[in-house]
Amino acid sequence: MAQDKILHSNIIGEGIPFVILHGFLGTGDNWKTHGKHLAASGYEVHLVDQRNHGHSFHDEAFNYEVLAEDLKRYCDIKQLKNIVLLGHSMGGKTAMLFSTLYPELVDKLLVADISPRFYPVHHDAILEGLSTLNFNEITSRGAADKALSTSVTEAGTRQFLLKNLYWKEKGKLDLRINLEVLYREVAEVGEALPSYARFEKKTLFLRGDRSEYIGLEDTSIIKNHFPEATIVTIANAGHWLHAENPKDFFQAVIDFLT
């Protein structure tokens, strides 16, 4: 990786370093509200954009090995150690692998609504929809939302995806994500944690009670990789548990940390 390829982040507050990794097609900004609350609780919060997402660099390589190495380089440059590391979905997989590779850098690990196991590809309709957006014709966020609605019917999901829109130049919209690479490498997002990977410090897995990403059958595989893991269920929440029930999610995080 080129020396200038450093992950973009928004850093809030002072104190114990707390790094947050967003999910697939998200950005660090998705976690700004929780970041502010954590900063008020005595943490230096790093809202990181992973490669090919947000304001971070675009690259042809995309898998959990390079995502973990990106984070290692980020920690080295920022001189971070004894971090609290939280990852959601794809970010949770990155956080899991990073913790097993560099346990000396991680004090506590939090994983939001993802298990170490393999997941089949299920983002294809969303990626197909995003790839059909024609920004020669679409000149407003409303028009983008309408165009995307034919393939992504759920309004909340569209709202989340369209946070990737930005004005590339005056009157010209585009997407910040590296859609071509993410579409090509989407199978990497579901890859399982390597069988040998273990992290033996305090770990919290948070699951939404309406989500299918972590089921009862996942307990044994979680404990196999993370023997000190606790699993907490957040009520009235699906996969975006931190946004759907932010109060209970934040309380569970604070309870774990204290």
Residue 180 catalytic?
yes
230-240 CB burial, b ≥16 within 10 A, e <16: ebbebeebbbb
- Catalytic-role residue among 9, 56, 89, 99: 89
Query: 8 near 72, Cβ under 8 Å?
Result: no
E-strand spans in the chain? 9-12, 16-21, 43-48, 83-88, 106-112, 165-169, 172-175, 203-208, 229-234
CA distance between the termini of the chain? 37
Rounded to whole angstroms, the Cα distance separating 35 from 195 reads 32
Residue 195 catalytic?
no
In the block, tokens 């004090």 appear at: 107
- Catalytic-role residue among 14, 60, 154, 180: 180
- Catalytic-role residue among 46, 88, 239, 242: 239
Residue 89 catalytic?
yes
Active site residues: 89, 180, 239
